[in-house]
Amino acid sequence: MREMRGSPCLSGLIAKLLLQLFPSKCPSCGSSSDSVSHAPFCKSCWSGVRKYTGPSCAVCATPFSSEDAVICAGCMKKRPLFSMAMSFGIYEGILAEAINLYKFHGIKRLAGPLAEFLTDFASAGIDAVVPVPLSITGLRNRGFNQSLLLAKTFSGKKDIPLVMNGLMKCRETGAQIGLSAKERAKNLKDAFSASRRFDGMRVLLVDDVMTTGSTANECAKQLLKAGAGDVSVLTLARASAL
């Protein structure tokens, strides 16, 4: 029985049984879900999620239309406090839909397959993985920290220590949606604090989406104040600032 439990055949049968017992429709194409691993999305739609491989800013990962550009105008004007940002894809299509279902509709089972997209990124030299925190009210309303679940899977796959409460959101902030980059930065000013020292450590900050980089910058500021030697950022998607 021990061998049978771990067999691919048995796992496949269980997966098929679960899909029969709890059928669901793919939110993208409307067909029946045919895979437990990334339900409710079907295999065809999920396979359409692609990593962005086009040109982007070497610092903040803003996509470029030109292959010749290296650093965006914003980073040239005012360099962010994090050393570099990396994003798996662009915040659009099925990737955006999956993030929204995960983040705003409580489909926590998508944390694993979404975090898998992050494991392709190099992590050599990273001493700690830190998730972007939610405020107490935000955590109570959502029921979970989406960035923490992503960071937990990533740290486990990469065998890098996860510092769950390395950062705290110490005050409530208004919604970021619809705000300009300047307004976002002002809204988040001094909203975070480090709960421990990170002396000389190279820290990887994990979040779901980066828009203007204001959240990442404020978090990086507190990590550097707590002694971190370097802060880099990893997100699932890069969104365009409106």
> Average pLDDT, stretch 64-76?
86
pLDDT of 8 above 70: no
* Average pLDDT, rounded, for the chain: 87
Least confident span in 28-37, 156-165, 210-219? 28-37
Nearest in space to 142 (alpha carbons), one of 162, 169, 118: 169
Q: What is the mean pLDDT of residues 183-208?
A: 92
Contact assessment for residue 242 and residue 92, using Cβ atoms and an 8 Å cutoff: no
Residue 231 pLDDT level (bands cut at 50, 70, 90): very high
Look at residue 5 and tell me whether its pLDDT is greater than 50: no
Task: Spell out the domains of the chain, with CATH numbers in brackets.
Answer: 1-48 (no CATH), 49-238 (3.40.50)
Percent of the chain with pLDDT over 70: 87
Q: Which residues contact 28 (CB under 8 A, 6 or more apart)?
A: 41, 42, 45, 94, 97
Cβ(61)–Cβ(80) below 8 Å: no
pLDDT tens by residue, 22-38: 557 899 998 888 877 88
Instruction: Output the pLDDT for position 13.
Output: 53
pLDDT, position 187: 76
Separation CA 161–CA 124 (nearest Å): 13
Tell me the pTM. Answer: 0.87
In contact, 193 and 168? CB cutoff 8 Å: yes
pLDDT digits (tens, 9 = 90+) for 74-106: 999 999 999 999 999 999 999 999 999 999 999
d(CA 170, CA 219): 12
Whether residue 1 is predicted with pLDDT greater than 70 in this model: the reply is: no
- 14 vs 53, higher pLDDT: 53
3-state secondary structure of 89: strand
One-letter-per-residue 3-state SS of 134-187: CCHHHHHHHCCCHHHHHHHHHHHHHCCCECCCCEEECCCCCCCCCCCHHHHHHH
Does 179 score more than 70 pLDDT?
A: no
Helix, strand or coil for residue 203?
strand
pLDDT(11) > 70:
no
Instruction: Tell me what the mean pLDDT of segment 43-71 comes to.
Output: 90
- Give the pLDDT band of residue 17 (cuts 50, 70, 90): low
* pLDDT at residue 186 greater than cutoff 80: no
> What pLDDT score does 39 carry?
85
Q: Provide the pLDDT for residue 9.
A: 53
- With 0-12 / 13-18 / 19 or more C-beta atoms within 10 angstroms meaning exposed / middle / buried, residue 43 is middle
pLDDT in the model for residue 182? 80
